[in-house]
Amino acid sequence: MEATPEYQHSHQGRQDNLNEFRSMRDHMHPPRMSAPSCMVPPTEQLVIRPYLVPLLPTFHGMESENPYAHIKEFEDERYMEAINACPHHGFDTWLLVSYFYDGMSSSMKQLLETMCGGDFMSKNPKEAMDFLKLCG
């Protein structure tokens, strides 16, 4: 009786055997029967602007890092840049806080008052502005 390698009788052995004969192109391009990818490539030409790259937060891809937190930090930084770029110089603090508060919807006002632990408009202007900076 002829000795046969034991991997020939196992399912794993046959799978490895089939993969031996697949070309690199076959490995790189899965068959169309596989599940579709959830990533959609852009239809237009993608242009990376060099001046935008330094604005992106650094993400090293480590397990302890959360990529969504980096996006949130990016949004927060852009928000503060927009606030600082807005021409609000010369306005009194109480007037800025008042404009901001009056421009909010009733549900957002309720959320803001819940976050600050009471009546937001009872705070003095400096406390109110500091709280808004903390939230933003």
- H helices within the chain, ranges in order? 11-20, 24-28, 67-85, 93-102, 106-116, 125-135
Summarised one tens digit per residue, pLDDT across range 116-130 is: 888 888 888 888 888
What's the confidence (pLDDT) of residue 80? 72
CA–CA separation, 80 and 103 (whole Å): 18
> Residue 125: which residues within 8 A CB-CB, separation 6 or more?
92, 93, 94, 97
The pLDDT of residue 26: 66
Q: Which residues contact 132 (CB under 8 A, 6 or more apart)?
A: 97, 100
pTM equals 0.37
Q: Mind giving me the DSSP string for 36-55?
A: PPS----SSPP---TTTGGG
CB 136 within 8 A of CB 86: no
74 contacts 110 by C-beta, under 8 angstroms: no
pLDDT higher at 50 or 36:
50
Tell me the pLDDT band of 18, cut-offs 50, 70 and 90. low
CA distance 129 to 98: 10
Query: What pLDDT, in 10s, does the model give residues 60-116?
Result: 777 777 766 766 776 677 767 777 777 666 777 888 888 888 888 888 888 888 888
- Of residues 16 and 82, more confidence is placed in 82
Residue range 26-35: mean pLDDT, rounded? 62
pLDDT attached to residue 30:
58
Residue 118 falls in which region: left (phi positive, over 0), alpha (psi -120 to 50) or beta? left
Domain ranges of the chain: 91-136
pLDDT band at residue 48, thresholds of 50, 70 and 90? confident
